[in-house]
């Protein structure tokens, strides 16, 4: 049986592949984007799990758009306007995939910053999109490049991760947010604001969401994988009701609906009075781990490795001077330290920068120090 | 934002839409394909739910293909050969969708019997397939039509539900199974054998799976929605390893992986020594309910409504004499009985037969009798 031509264009995720190696005993993995599982709020959820045994209705077929009480809760939490709507999917990854399936035709032009989130590149490649890229700067995307692209009039979607971008960890400035929203409205471009890391700010002040400045022409993706637990596979997408209706139609075909027991457990977690405290602890831990990794890299990198500080999220984007990042990543793995080379975050054949994406959330401070030492030792060799 | 042209071609599922109406208080629903939730094995699963609280690893990101212990169990259960492989998805619906996304190009010809499973028509329409149909007979698809289609050399996939077909409840004869497998091999057509109802036989002898006679050119879909519980959204697909590898690639992009806690709970259920007894009870209950509905329809239908007996599954396909099935379905709903008219199971614009699909698994015997009386009363009016 012949494989669909668009699949042949997808580059498998180096990251998910490296995760198998990274999961091996004794490997310090800074490769994934995993929350530390020792912090999962399972103790609180015991009563929630027990209640599943008394709730057969949660195990019956459910509505395509999501479990009604969770939909109500999120609609209120995110202040969804009457002309808006919300759909629950299997992680924000599925929500993004539904968007591409509903709104992208083969050959259609969509834009994103590079380096880019690998999962988004895969989704749009699978939809047959013509992916246009703009450079990422410390305070956001290159506005000149964006305006040139949008002015050509063929870009229909701009996919963006304005808060603690994966892989760069960058957070857009307030000005850039305003300008991007303005450009989107002006040129009729739909903004997809992907916000999985937004609630993981551990320093500085929150900026308004870009979509809040162009509500009628944007879809917002939120994930519960980073703040709650990824194995449950829950995320949501909100935006204008007629667009969400189209996503519901695709979701009906894709898998009928998302697992209801998982949605009920998430709702219990989000309603928990201790949940804000859980988030605070998580962010405090992330900040401590980030500080440890940053200090160790500053100390050992000695100009061969540079990075901009981050105020949240899960990643440091470390650029290298005259070093082949892929070679370095392989050398690291041979010394039981897993990292992802920057090339993974570019389109195939695209010019990339020599860089490493370093996750600081999943390994403890001692491990992060040892990993940084290994990386810096290899750099100085 | 413009909607993808292929979405505009999907007919929304009348069934899922009617389910909202059917779920209203006081409605006797013979419309869905729901297992009765009072029979869900939740009592046994209490210990399984409790164990979730001690298993943070189940809430971490997991492998795209499925939770390894469940994959191992199913690989052994279904006797997957070394050259084969298996992937777990969000219900067999997602597995079918992954197949269409991996192997169907827009305009590609795929074949199925009509009347047909609505979810399959949606999936293939969304993939842009050119859907060819062959007539369904009581013992299987029309072999002459199938041979003519296959001989033209353009059909790449034959999608089939050989056991207790939805909506007809039909089960292919041993001879037809052999012939279809032969035709598929001879003409290089891939068979997709969808088997959600196969384990729900309550009379007669099991026939070999069609795919067992053309293993190298078939993919098999299995569902745990009918035998376990649909709200967990679990199913699997098995077939030649290189094909499953392609499905894994699409699944990575579609939603990374299926919820791990649900997979762990399903594994506990399948391993349970009481599970075969659970299935037996389910089938005994289905048989009793089927007998009740069949008798009531035979008694009240008086030649205006006819159906072939079924030996398993969830549905009776009742054909009508000189009655508009859609009109009748609306009349039934006005009297608080939900049924699905036959036209829902045909492609848009296709010639259909006046028929009703009647589910006999979700309403108790008393309710089934009352529903049959309502239908028959309306028919005689």
Same domain, B109 and B212: yes
Q: Which residues of B touch A32 (CB under 8 A)?
A: 61
Same domain, A16 and A154: no
Give the pLDDT confidence score for residue A19 in this predicted structure.
65
Q: Within a domain: residue A103?
A: yes
pLDDT digits (tens, 9 = 90+) for A67-113: 999 999 999 999 999 999 999 999 999 999 999 999 999 999 999 99
Given a cut of 50, the residues of chain B with pLDDT beneath it are none
HEC-encoded secondary structure of chain B:
CCCCHHHHCCCCCHHHHHHHHHCCCCCEECCCCCCCHHHCCHHHHHHHHHHHCCCHHHHCCCCCCCCHHHHHHHHHHCCCCCCEEEEEECHHHHHHHHHHHHHCCCCCEEEEEECCCHHHHHHHHHCCCEEEEEEEECCEECHHHHHHHHHCCCEEEEEECCCCCCCCCCCCCHHHHHHHHHHHHHHCCEEEEECCCHHHECCCCCCCCHHHHCHHHEEEEEECCCCCCHHHCCEEEEEEHHHHHHHHHHHHHHHCCCCHHHHHHHHHHHHCCCHHHHHHHHHHHHHHHHHHHHHHHHHHHCCCEECCCCCECCEEEEEECCCCHHHHHHHHHHCCEECEEHHHHCCCCCCCCCEEEEECCCCCHHHHHHHHHHHHHHHHC
Q: A49 touching B, CB under 8 A?
A: yes
pLDDT at residue A17 above 70?
no
Interface of A with B in 121-140 (CB under 8 A): 122-123, 126
Whether A252 and B122 lie within 8 Å, measured CB to CB: yes
Give the pLDDT confidence score for residue B6 in this predicted structure.
77
Which has more confidence, A24 or A26? Answer: A26
Q: Which residues of B touch A53 (CB under 8 A)?
A: 42-43, 45-46, 49
Half-sphere exposure of A251 (CA within 13 A, CB side): 31
Same domain, B80 and B122: yes
Q: Within a domain: residue A45?
A: no
**Residue B231 near residue A60, CB atoms below 8 Å:** yes
Q: Within a domain: residue A364?
A: yes
Give the pLDDT confidence score for residue A381 in this predicted structure.
83
Q: A218 touching B, CB under 8 A?
A: no
Q: Within a domain: residue A164?
A: yes
Q: Which of B16, B54, B233 faces A255 most closely, judged by CB atoms?
A: B233
Same domain, B255 and B340: no
Give the pLDDT confidence score for residue A189 in this predicted structure.
98
Give the pLDDT confidence score for residue B26 in this predicted structure.
87
Residue that terminates a domain, selected from B271, B300, B325 = B271
Q: Within a domain: residue A47?
A: no
Q: A343 touching B, CB under 8 A?
A: no
Closest residue in chain A to residue B65, using alpha carbons only: A16
Quick one: tokens of B373?
Answer: 């009386």
Residue that terminates a domain, selected from B271, B294, B328 = B271
**Residue A108 near residue A129, CB atoms below 8 Å:** yes
Give the pLDDT confidence score for residue A349 in this predicted structure.
80
Q: How far apart are CA A128 and CA A132, in angstroms?
A: 12
Same domain, A15 and A61: no
Give the pLDDT confidence score for residue B2 in this predicted structure.
81
**Residue B299 near residue B307, CB atoms below 8 Å:** no
Q: Which residues of A touch B9 (CB under 8 A)?
A: none
Whether B16 and A45 lie within 8 Å, measured CB to CB: no
pLDDT digits (tens, 9 = 90+) for A202-211: 999 999 999 9
Quick one: tokens of A159?
Answer: 């996919």
Whether B42 and A54 lie within 8 Å, measured CB to CB: yes
Q: Which residues of A touch B59 (CB under 8 A)?
A: 37, 40, 42, 229-232
Whether A56 and B45 lie within 8 Å, measured CB to CB: no
**What is the band of A342 on the pLDDT scale with cuts at 50, 70, 90?**
very high
**What is the band of A1 on the pLDDT scale with cuts at 50, 70, 90?**
confident
Domain count along chain A:
2
Give the pLDDT confidence score for residue A302 in this predicted structure.
84
Q: In a mutagenesis test of the B interface, which of A91, A190, A254, A361 is the best target, namely the one with the most B β-carbons within 10 Å?
A: A254
Whether B34 and A60 lie within 8 Å, measured CB to CB: yes
Give the pLDDT confidence score for residue A11 in this predicted structure.
63
Q: Within a domain: residue A62?
A: yes
Q: Which residues of A touch B233 (CB under 8 A)?
A: 255-259
Whether A246 and B49 lie within 8 Å, measured CB to CB: no
pLDDT above 90 covers a percentage of chain A that reads 89
Q: Which of A126, A157, A255 faces B97 most closely, judged by CB atoms?
A: A255
For the purposes of burial, counting CB atoms within 10 Å of the CB of A326, is it exposed (0-12), middle (13-18) or buried (19 or more)? middle
Give the pLDDT confidence score for residue B143 in this predicted structure.
98
Residue that terminates a domain, selected from B251, B271, B291 = B271
Q: Which residues of B touch A91 (CB under 8 A)?
A: 255-256
Give the pLDDT confidence score for residue B100 in this predicted structure.
97
Give the pLDDT confidence score for residue B348 in this predicted structure.
82
Q: B23 touching A, CB under 8 A?
A: no
Give the pLDDT confidence score for residue A181 in this predicted structure.
98
Q: How far apart are CA B8 and CA B81, in angstroms?
A: 41
Name the DSSP letter for residue A201: B
Q: How far apart are CA A315 and CA A317, in angstroms?
A: 6
CA A81 to chain B, closest CA, distance in angstroms equals 19
Same domain, B200 and B294: no
Q: How far apart are CA A111 and CA A266, in angstroms?
A: 33
CATH assignment of the domain containing B161: 3.40.640.10
Whether B4 and A102 lie within 8 Å, measured CB to CB: yes
**C-alpha closest to that of A108 among A86, A88, A132:** A132
Q: In a mutagenesis test of the B interface, which of A154, A233, A235, A266 is the best target, namely the one with the most B β-carbons within 10 Å?
A: A233
Same domain, B72 and B115: yes
Q: Within a domain: residue A331?
A: yes
* Region A152-158 average pLDDT: 97
Q: B218 touching A, CB under 8 A?
A: no
Same domain, A113 and A95: yes
Give the pLDDT confidence score for residue A25 in this predicted structure.
80
Q: Which of B1, B59, B126 faces A40 most closely, judged by CB atoms?
A: B59
Whether B49 and A54 lie within 8 Å, measured CB to CB: no
* Region A117-143 average pLDDT: 96
Same domain, A309 and A367: yes
Q: A201 touching B, CB under 8 A?
A: no
Q: A105 touching B, CB under 8 A?
A: yes
Q: A249 touching B, CB under 8 A?
A: yes
Same domain, B85 and B33: no
* Region A41-51 average pLDDT: 97
Same domain, A240 and A312: no
Whether A52 and B54 lie within 8 Å, measured CB to CB: no
pLDDT digits (tens, 9 = 90+) for A277-320: 999 999 999 999 999 999 999 999 888 999 999 999 999 999 99
pLDDT at residue A201 above 70?
yes
Which has more confidence, A12 or A190? Answer: A190
ipTM for the complex shown = 0.96
Give the count of beta carbons closer than 10 Å to the beta carbon of residue B255: 28
Between chain A and chain B, the number of residue pairs with CB atoms below 8 A apart is 223
Whether B104 and A19 lie within 8 Å, measured CB to CB: no
Q: Within a domain: residue A48?
A: no
CA A53 to chain B, closest CA, distance in angstroms equals 5
Whether B90 and A119 lie within 8 Å, measured CB to CB: no
Give the pLDDT confidence score for residue B135 in this predicted structure.
96
Q: Which residues of B touch A64 (CB under 8 A)?
A: 16
CATH assignment of the domain containing A294: 3.90.1150.10
Q: A264 touching B, CB under 8 A?
A: no
Give the pLDDT confidence score for residue A6 in this predicted structure.
77
Closest residue in chain A to residue B62, using alpha carbons only: A231
Same domain, A296 and A235: no
Q: Which residues of B touch A102 (CB under 8 A)?
A: 3-4, 7
Residue A326 sits in which domain range?
5-40+276-380
CA A142 to chain B, closest CA, distance in angstroms equals 24
């Amino acid at each position: 049986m012949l494989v669909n031509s668009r699949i042949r264009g997808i580059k498998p995720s180096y990251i998910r592949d490296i995760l198998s190696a990274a999961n091996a005993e004794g490997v310090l993995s800074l490769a994934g984007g995993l929350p530390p599982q020792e912090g999962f709020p399972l103790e609180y959820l015991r009563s929630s799990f027990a209640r599943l045994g008394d709730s057969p209705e949660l195990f019956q077929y459910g509505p395509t758009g999501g479990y009604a009480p969770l939909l109500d809760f999120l609609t209120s939490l995110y202040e969804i306007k009457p002309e808006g709507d919300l759909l629950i999917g299997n992680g924000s990854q599925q929500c993004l995939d539904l968007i591409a399936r509903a709104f992208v035709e083969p050959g259609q032009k969509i834009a994103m910053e590079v380096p880019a989130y690998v999962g988004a590149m895969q989704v749009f490649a699978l939809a047959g999109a013509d992916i246009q890229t703009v450079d990422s700067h410390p305070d956001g995307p290159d506005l000149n490049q964006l305006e040139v692209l949008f002015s050509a009039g063929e870009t229909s979607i701009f996919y963006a991760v304005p808060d603690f971008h994966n892989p760069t960890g960058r957070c857009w400035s307030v000005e850039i947010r305003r300008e991007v929203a303005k450009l989107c409205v002006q040129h009729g471009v739909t903004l997809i604001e992907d916000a999985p890391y937004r609630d993981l700010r551990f320093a500085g002040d929150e900026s308004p969401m870009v979509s809040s400045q162009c509500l009628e022409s944007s879809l917002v993706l939120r994930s519960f994988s980073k703040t709650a637990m990824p194995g449950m596979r829950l995320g949501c997408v909100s935006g204008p009701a007629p667009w969400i209706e189209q996503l519901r139609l695709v979701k009906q075909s894709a898998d009928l609906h998302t697992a209801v027991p998982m949605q009920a457990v998430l709702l219990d977690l989000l309603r928990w009075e201790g949940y804000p405290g859980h988030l605070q602890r998580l962010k405090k831990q992330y900040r401590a781990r980030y500080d440890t990794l940053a200090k160790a890299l500053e100390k050992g990198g000695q100009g061969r490795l540079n990075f901009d500080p981050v105020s949240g999220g899960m990643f440091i984007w470390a650029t290298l001077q005259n070093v082949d990042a892929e070679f370095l990543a392989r050398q690291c793995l041979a010394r039981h330290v897993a990292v992802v080379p920057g090339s993974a975050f570019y389109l195939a054949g695209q010019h990339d920068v020599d860089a490493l994406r370093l996750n600081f959330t999943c390994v403890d401070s001692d491990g992060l120090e040892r990993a940084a030492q290994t990386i810096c030792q290899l750099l100085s060799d």
